[in-house]
Amino acid sequence: MDPPRHTRVRGLANQAFSARRVELLRPRIAEITAELLDDMAAAARPVDLNVAFGRPLPLRVICEMLGVPFADQQKFVDWTERIMSLGEFTGEEIATAFAEMKAYFKELVAAKRADPGDDLLSVLTSVADGEGTLTESEVMHLGTAILVAGHDTSVTVIASAALTLMRNPDQAELLRREPARWPAAVEELIRLDNPGVVINPRIATCDIPLGDVVIPKGAAVLAHVGPASRDETVLDAPDSFDVTRGAGPLFSLGHGPHFCIGASLAKAELEIGLRALFERFPGLRPAVEPDRLQWRDRAALGGFKQFPVTW
């Protein structure tokens, strides 16, 4: 979406993801994290980290923010799997997932209109009805986009970041000794473990000189954030994990007017979730050799198919 429509919709949605609002959410994120880790500790080992922790943590948080029943989580997981696939499902199956999700949110918006709460969907529905600055269609599409993007990215990053910490026990130990380093560690983990592949081409609106090449107006460009975050001309040893590294380029959350609206929330989930995970299970390790973990090659955001862990 481009300005001015993007500016209008984004401005309203920004209110739900402000730094202040995310700060108020931190105690609730910690509560959800503790509940999941309690369940994980009581389960038979090995445990699939994706199922026990990586998916339910961000999904529960985003469902509560939006005012979406978490009891319907399996529907969201199934829809997301189809919508965010790369050739694994037919076009008809993907279109059906979109239609089912849109119908779900249409019913949910009607329920929020009849009995509003203090959640994001209720607020957006009220704005659409009272101020006319959002259409009902925009409310539904915003809800579906936030639900999908608000958890599927985090599932991939939580698992990849956990593996990075397991493979770097010296860094994990440094974080245990000096927990104030966790915010910097999250920045470093996001840089190294950004989710997925490039699937959305951008169209050049004018001729753009880039090095010795001119990208012509109208050309499609695939800007790959992974290599951009590992630029050896900017960072020393860019493929290594170093929680003491100073601030460097971070493109995993986007740039400019389309910078990830949930960046503050994602960082809070990673900081609170990963810190608690490794403090609760200091001996956490993969239950299989890491090279046996299977990557979801046909999922737009990647991630491990299963991630069995023990401790």
Per-residue model confidence (pLDDT) at position 34: 98
Q: Above 90 in pLDDT, residue 15?
A: no
Per-residue model confidence (pLDDT) at position 172: 95
Q: What is the mean pLDDT of residues 236-258?
A: 84
Q: Which domain holds residue 81?
A: 5-198+264-310
Q: Above 70 in pLDDT, residue 196?
A: no
CA gap 49, 236 in Å, rounded: 32
Asked whether residue 154 is domain-assigned, the answer is yes
Neighbours of 93 (CB within 10 A): 12
Asked whether residue 218 is domain-assigned, the answer is no
Across 29-43, 143-157, 211-225, which has the greatest mean pLDDT?
29-43
**pTM as predicted:** 0.91
Asked whether residue 191 is domain-assigned, the answer is yes
Long-range contact set of residues 9-13: C-beta below 8 Å, sequence gap at least 24: 9/134, 9/138, 9/142, 10/257, 10/261, 12/124, 12/127, 12/133, 12/134, 13/120, 13/124, 13/142, 13/146, 13/261
Q: Who wins on pLDDT, 12 or 292?
A: 292
Q: Above 70 in pLDDT, residue 232?
A: yes
Asked whether residue 116 is domain-assigned, the answer is yes
Per-residue model confidence (pLDDT) at position 209: 96
Across 127-131, 137-141, 185-189, which has the greatest mean pLDDT?
185-189
| Number of folded domains that form the chain | 1
pLDDT band at 84 (very low <50, low <70, confident <90, very high): confident
Mean pLDDT value across the chain? 90
Asked whether residue 245 is domain-assigned, the answer is no
Asked whether residue 130 is domain-assigned, the answer is yes
Asked whether residue 211 is domain-assigned, the answer is no
Per-residue model confidence (pLDDT) at position 297: 82
Q: Above 70 in pLDDT, residue 248?
A: no
Exposure of 298 in the CB half-sphere (CA atoms within 13 A): 7
Asked whether residue 226 is domain-assigned, the answer is no
Q: Who wins on pLDDT, 194 or 102?
A: 102
CATH number at 277 reads 1.10.630.10
Q: Above 70 in pLDDT, residue 249?
A: no
